[in-house]
Structure formats: C-alpha cells, structure tokens
C-alpha cells in the first residue's frame, strides 16, 4: 500500500515538475507575443 502511495506521489511530482517546465516556456513565448500585441502592429493569422 505504502509503495502505491509513494508511486502516486512521485507521479504527481513528475507531472507537476514537467508541467511547470513546459508552462515556463509557454509563459516566455506568450510574453513575447504579448509585447508584440501591445507595442507592435500584429497581423492576425489563423493556425
């Protein structure tokens, strides 16, 4: 039982750590886009 709990905790920690790393990159990329939106002339394009 203890092993399952520890595995669950490690899984959550892993998800959190990987998610935070990816989110940090998203934050930087959207931050640059935000600056362009606020101060530059942005052409909206479809993805």
Partner 1 sequence: MSSPFQPGNSASNRVRIVVATSVMLTFISYWRAAAIVLNDLGSSAFYAAGIAEQAVGKSAPWFIVGVMLFSFTVRAVYVEGCSMFVRGGVYRVVKEALGGTLAKLSVSALMFDYILTGPISGVSAGQYIAGLMNDIFATADAHGWIPRAVHIMFHGTPQVDVNWTSVVFAVAVTVYFWWENTKGIGESSEKALRVMQITTVMVVILLAWSGLTLLMQAHQSVPLPWPKNLTFSHESLGFLKHTDLATDLAKKFGLLGILIAFGHSVLAMSGEESLAQVNRELAHPKLKNLKRAAIIIAIYSFVFTGLTALLFVMIIPDSVRVPIYKDNLIAGLAMYMWGPLLLRLAFRAFVVVVGFLILSGAVNTAIIGSNGVLNRVSEDGVLADWFRQPHKRFGTTYRIINLVVFLQLFTILASRGNVYWLGEAYAFGVIWSFTFKSLAMLVLRFKYKGERGWKVPLNFHIAGYEIPVGLASVFMVLLSTAIVNLFTKSLATVAGISFAVGFFVIFTISERVNKHKHALHQQQMREHFQLLHSDKVEREGLGIRPGNVLVTVRDYNTLTHLKWALERIDEKDQDIVVMSARVSQFGAAAYDLATEQIFTDYEEHLFTQAVSVAENFGKHVSLLVVPARDVWSAIVQTAINLESSAVVAGLSSKMAGQEQAFELGRAWEAAEEPKRQFVLQVVHPDMNVDTFRIGPHTPSMKTEDIHLVHRLWLNITREPGLDKLHHNDILTEALTRFARDYSGQQREEILKQLRSVTGADPGSGIVEPRAIATTPAAKDADVSDGSPGKKPAPGAADAN
Contact residues for partner 1, defined by CB under 8 A: 9, 12-13, 15-23, 25-27, 29-31, 33-34, 37-38, 42, 44, 46-47
User: How far apart are the C-alpha atoms of 27 and 12, rounded to whole Å?
Assistant: 22
Sort 13 into a burial class: Cβ within 10 Å, 0-12 / 13-18 / 19+.
exposed
Compute the least distance from the CB of residue 25 to partner 1, in Å: 6
Compute the least distance from the CB of residue 20 to partner 1, in Å: 6
Enumerate the H helices of the chain as residue ranges.
Answer: 2-39
Compute the least distance from the CB of residue 4 to partner 1, in Å: 13
């Amino acid at each position: 039982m203890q092993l399952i709990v520890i595995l669950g905790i490690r899984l959550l920690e892993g998800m959190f750590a990987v998610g935070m790393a990816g989110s940090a990159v998203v934050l930087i990329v959207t931050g640059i886009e935000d600056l362009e939106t606020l101060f530059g002339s942005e052409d909206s394009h479809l993805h």
